[in-house]
Amino acid sequence: MALLVASSAFANALDHLRTTDDIGLNKNPHLGQSRLLVIPSRVGRDLTPAELQRLQAAYDPAGPAGSFRAYWRTTSVGRYDPVPTVVQPVIYRDRCPLPGKTMADCRFTLTDLGLITQGGLRVAFEDIIRRVRDEQGIDLTQFDVNGADAGVADGYFDGVILDTDMYSGIAVPLAALVNNTVVIGAWPQPLDAGVDDAGTADAGPTLRCGIVGLIPPDEHEYGHTLGFIDLYNGPRVNDLMADVRATLGPFSRQQIGWGDVLHVDGGLELDLKPVLEGGPVLRIGDGPKYLMLENRGGPKHATYEGAAPGIWVYSVDETKLPTAPLGFLDIVNQRLYYPNEAAPYLYVNVPLNCQLGSPTTPGTCALTTYDEARVLADSAGQEVGFTLRRSRTVDGGTIRIALRAGTELPPSFTPPVVPPPVIVPAVPMPWETVPSGCGCQSAGAGVGLVVLALLLRRRRG
């Protein structure tokens, strides 16, 4: 399609962070603290009180576990801290900000090629953001405190989230679609700012926005703005980008650098902490095809995830990562690209087509029970030369695992045999206690009980 050629100079916005040199332009920064602009907007009506309350609660920076900021702080194991600000709603009562659209059809889709090629999305988003600046008197430059270098402003919004009825459930890579949005950031300008055009709304440093998340679903769409691609439309994978109630799985976590990945090339036995509590992901193989293992369990898993707790195994094939500038689009079929849709799969749970289970039911993906063992295989069913066994869950989610190279399962974690307790019958002694002459009379009947216990133990063998 001709329109897409024009954008080929840009790196790929949604490539599961195969590239990260386009952070700012195509991807929101993901390390350190960011300031996010959250804009409620409707066409032809106000938000309902319930809609507004949902947003304000979900994006309360001091919100409880499960709210937006807490979710990302937990998911990133403390490496990313997005602080959202919900501004006042921007309402379009009698006009549609999308060029060529009316109040009756004030919506767009990704197949609105005319709108996209003519910069219509840019026009609409710039209008919305300018209205926040001018009608609410908000200095937008406060929403750029982060960039590819953590803690360094880069001229791009750290993140823009739009709750709108023009479209929901998508992240729009504006720059990749030749709709890079640019506004003047500061307002009001100080009158004596020392520049020629100070004092007008359209003066001062510009702020750019190359990707915007249109919610709900909130965390999933925001995941796209960080650079992740969709993982649904295929065998299930326990990951936010597959739309399940989940945080990121190990491949996504590796790509964004949230947590440690331990390369394993031999047998080992170790106590594996849950990833959300800081435990490492284990990786078998150098790529492009490899397996990843993780412990999903513990209190944070219980709070944020709907799948069964246990030791999970994943199969990765990086040859399915999108590489073209617009790889997130399936241009031939005019829809999004789903790298898990057909074999070989980018990133799925193994065994293939397993069930994720629930906090109270084990499913069939994870090793969820004590002493469970498995011969490891990839998503094509090919054995990878390792076997795995898990022990019991201890210490709030930590699980001891044994990995063994070869085809033989690690020995069982059978616990040491505990001898049965000796039961001393509480019966009165059948004879009178008499002095024994050994100088221990004062022990009285107690001595007899000890002797009886020893006899019983010996007899039990």
CB nearer to Ca ion: give 84 or 357: 84
Helix (H) or strand (E) holding 132: helix 120-136
User: What's the closest the beta carbon of residue 167 comes to Ca ion, in angstroms?
Assistant: 24
Stretch that binds Ca ion, among 136-144, 217-225, 261-269, 272-280 (CB under 5 A): 136-144
Which amino acid type is present at position 344? P
Give the tokens for residue 317. 């094939």
427: Cβ contacts below 8 Å, ≥ 6 apart: none
Determine the straight-line distance between the first and last CA of the chain, rounded to whole angstroms.
85
Out of 112, 154, 165, 318, point to the residue binding Ca ion (CB under 5 A).
Answer: 154
Stretch that binds Ca ion, among 125-133, 139-147, 303-311, 379-387 (CB under 5 A): 139-147
Partner from Zn ion, Ca ion, none contacting 156, C-beta within 5 to 8 A by type: Ca ion
Q: What radius of gyration do the chain's Cα atoms show?
A: 30
Partner from Zn ion, Ca ion, none contacting 378, C-beta within 5 to 8 A by type: none
Partner from Ca ion, Zn ion, none contacting 154, C-beta within 5 to 8 A by type: Ca ion
User: What's the closest the beta carbon of residue 330 comes to Zn ion, in angstroms?
Assistant: 14
Buried b (16+ CB within 10 A) or exposed e, 49-82: eeebebbeebbebebeeebbbbbbebbbbebbeb
Give the tokens for residue 151. 């803690």
Partner from Zn ion, Ca ion, none contacting 230, C-beta within 5 to 8 A by type: Zn ion
- DSSP 3-state of 261: strand
Query: CA 114, 118, 123, 125 torsion: positive or negative?
Result: positive
Partner from Zn ion, Ca ion, none contacting 386, C-beta within 5 to 8 A by type: none
User: What's the closest the beta carbon of residue 158 comes to Ca ion, in angstroms?
Assistant: 4
- Residue whose beta carbon is closest to Zn ion: 230
SS3 content of the chain, % helix, strand, coil (to 5): 25, 25, 55
123: Cβ contacts below 8 Å, ≥ 6 apart: 97, 98, 99
Stretch that binds Ca ion, among 90-98, 140-148, 160-168, 333-341 (CB under 5 A): 140-148
CB nearer to Ca ion: give 109 or 206: 206
Stretch that binds Ca ion, among 57-65, 81-89, 94-102, 149-157 (CB under 5 A): 149-157
| 390 C-beta neighbours (distance < 10 Å), count | 24
Span 210-249, contacts to Zn ion by CB under 5 A: 230
Partner from Zn ion, Ca ion, none contacting 227, C-beta within 5 to 8 A by type: none
Residue 144 lies near Ca ion (rule: CB under 5 A): yes
Distances (CA, A) of 345 to 239, 271, 316, 317: 14, 30, 7, 6
Partner from Ca ion, Zn ion, none contacting 345, C-beta within 5 to 8 A by type: none
Residue 227 and residue 80: Cα distance in Å, rounded? 14
Q: Which residues bind Zn ion (CB under 5 A)?
A: 230
Q: Which residues bind Ca ion (CB under 5 A)?
A: 144, 147, 154, 156, 158
